[in-house]
Structure formats: structure tokens, C-alpha cells
């Protein structure tokens, strides 16, 4: 039994979540840039038919923090969302060929 799956999924999730902000300057502009980047990445994931629910919820958290004027927090969330979206893109791209390894034949 390949029980490695949930574990590796967890690793992936943790690593993605670890993409926390290094230098949140606190400016609204930083947030806007980070949010736009995250949104763009998530759009690309949508094209690949592989968005993650966590990307959407992290984006929502970023927006909420920004509305409350907490731009450090908002930027951090936006960057996390971007990392999540990029991980989903990577997943979709690599699975283009890898899915066959799972196939029953």
C-alpha cells in the first residue's frame, strides 16, 4: 500500500504554507503587487483546470486583511496565495505525463 500519499501531500501543503513574507514593508502598494501576482497565477491554474480551494481562501484572507488596513498581513497572505497557485500550476504541468504511472493496465 502506498501510504506515502497523504504524508507527501502534507509536506507539499506545509511547504506551500511556509512561503510567508520575508520583508513586508507595510505599504499598500506592496500588497497590491503581491495580490495581482497571486491572482494572475491563480488564473493560470484555472486555465489548467487545477485551482486549489486553499488558494482562493488565502486570497480572500488577503483581501480581508487589506480592507482592515493590515497591509503587512495582507501582503503575507497574498504571497502565500501566489505560492499555492504556483504549486498547483506545477502539479498540473507535471501530471500531464505522470498520471500514466498510476494507470491500471
Partner 1 sequence: MRLRSAIYLASAAAAFAALSLAGALPSGAADKVDPVADAKAFKKFFTDKFPKVKLEDFVNGPYSMNEDLYRQWQEKEQFPPYEFSLEMGKEMFSKPFKNGKTYADCFPNGGIGIRQNYPIFDDKEGKVITLELALNRCREANGEQPYSYVKDEMAALTAYMAFTSRGKPMDIKIPDDPRALAAYENGKEYFYTRRGQLNFSCATCHVQSPGERIRAEILAPALGIVNAMPIYRSEWSGMGTTSRRFVTCNSQIRGVPLSPQDDEYRNVEYYLSYVSNGLPISGPGARP
Q: Is 38 in the site for partner 1 (CB under 8 A)?
A: no
Report residue 94: phi and psi, to 5°. Answer: -70, -30
Residue 42's nearest CA partner among 53, 31, 29 is: 53
| Distance of alpha carbon 69 from alpha carbon 63, whole angstroms | 10
Q: Which is nearer to partner 1, 65 or 82 (CB)?
A: 82
CA dihedral 21, 22, 23, 24 (to 10 degrees): 10
- Please give the grid coordinates belonging to residue 43: 488564473
Among 73, 77, 79, 81, which residue sits at the site for partner 1 (rule: CB under 8 A)? 79
Q: Is 78 in the site for partner 1 (CB under 8 A)?
A: no
Among 51, 73, 74, 81, which residue sits at the site for partner 1 (rule: CB under 8 A)? 51
| Distance of alpha carbon 70 from alpha carbon 40, whole angstroms | 22
Segment near partner 1 (CB under 8 A); pick from 24-32, 65-73, 85-93: 85-93
Q: Which residues bind partner 1 (CB under 8 A)?
A: 1-2, 4-6, 8-9, 11-13, 15-16, 18-19, 22, 46, 49-54, 56, 79, 82-84, 86-88, 90-92, 94-95, 98-105
Amino acid at each position: 500500500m502506498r501510504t506515502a500519499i497523504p504524508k507527501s501531500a502534507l509536506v507539499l501543503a506545509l511547504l506551500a504554507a511556509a512561503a510567508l513574507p520575508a520583508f513586508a514593508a507595510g505599504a499598500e502598494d506592496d500588497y497590491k503587487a503581491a495580490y495581482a501576482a497571486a491572482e494572475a497565477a491563480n488564473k493560470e491554474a484555472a486555465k489548467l483546470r487545477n485551482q486549489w480551494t486553499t488558494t482562493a481562501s488565502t486570497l480572500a484572507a488577503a483581501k480581508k486583511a487589506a480592507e482592515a488596513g493590515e497591509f503587512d498581513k495582507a501582503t503575507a497572505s497574498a504571497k502565500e496565495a501566489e505560492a499555492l497557485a504556483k504549486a498547483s500550476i506545477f502539479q498540473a504541468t507535471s501530471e500531464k505525463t505522470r498520471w500514466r504511472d498510476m494507470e491500471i493496465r
